[in-house]
A and B are shown apart, each in its own frame.
Chain A
Amino acid sequence: NAGVTQTPKFRVLKTGQSMTLLCAQDMNHEYMYWYRQDPGMGLRLIHYSVGEGTTAKGEVPDGYNVSRLKKQNFLLGLESAAPSQTSVYFCASSYGPIYEQYFGPGTRLTVT
């Protein structure tokens, strides 16, 4: 039982490049989330999904897109990376609403 895994662990992009972050969970959770964490700030929700085939915007969705084609996977895409997207990105999943969220180890993204 690996829990929540994220790929890649580190990435450096140039402004304007695109990339996709992959999140996978093996706990059969319905809910999945993408957060970003910046120095001195708490986690901020980018997008979330309440089930396979569904996605919704969170607190800071601009510049990101997501897809949930399979229940166990949640993809976060950056179509045209900007320096302001330099951050640590965390994926999480939960059994349902009002349950603890399990977090992955994070992806450190630098955009130059």
Chain B
Amino acid sequence: GESVGLHLPTLSVQEGDNSIINCAYSNSASDYFIWYKQESGKGPQFIIDIRSNMDKRQGQRVTVLLNKTVKHLSLQIAATQPGDSAVYFCAENVTGGYNKLIFGAGTRLAVHP
């Protein structure tokens, strides 16, 4: 079936540490993956994306890793800051005619001083 799940519903880290948020996907035909950040009371905000022909992509303080063999996606945040506290969603694009994004339930990241 088509599903996107997350291993950890809540992740607590100390300010300055690196954070790793994991995501498993089930559809081997998915060709595009996105990480979104959602702060309380706001809409999801794009963080980084990766296509299935890549296994790593880096942005500013963030890195996404894609392991197609085990259908696993991770988001790494370097030097986590209080402003990074939010719910993070992974989403996979299921091919088949339109841009159908399947979202996971989300992981809450709590950054402690």
Main SS class of interface, A: loop
| A103 contacts partner chain B, Cβ-Cβ < 8 Å | yes
* Smallest beta-carbon distance A87→chain B, Å: 14
Task: For B98, give its contact among A40, A41, A50, A102 (CB under 8 Å).
Answer: A50
Given A105-B42, A106-B42, A98–B31 Cβ distance below 8 Å?
Answer: yes
The answer, yes or no, to whether A72 is at the interface (CB within 8 Å) is: no
Q: How many A-B residue pairs lie within 8 Å, measured between CB atoms?
A: 56
* Band of interface residues on B: 20 to 34
Interface check B64, CB cutoff 8 A:
no
Per DSSP, chain B at the interface is: strand
Cβ–Cβ < 8 Å partners of B34 in chain A: 100-101
Q: How many residues of A contact B (CB 8 A)?
A: 25
Q: Which residues of B contact A48 (CB under 8 A)?
A: 98
Report which A residues bind B (CB closer than 8 A): 4, 31, 40-45, 48, 50, 56, 58, 90, 94, 96-106
- With A31-B98, A42-B104 known, 16 other A-B pairs at CB within 8 A are A40-B105, A41-B105, A42-B103, A42-B106, A43-B91, A44-B103, A45-B100, A58-B100, A90-B43, A98-B99, A100-B34, A101-B99, A104-B43, A105-B42, A106-B42, A106-B43
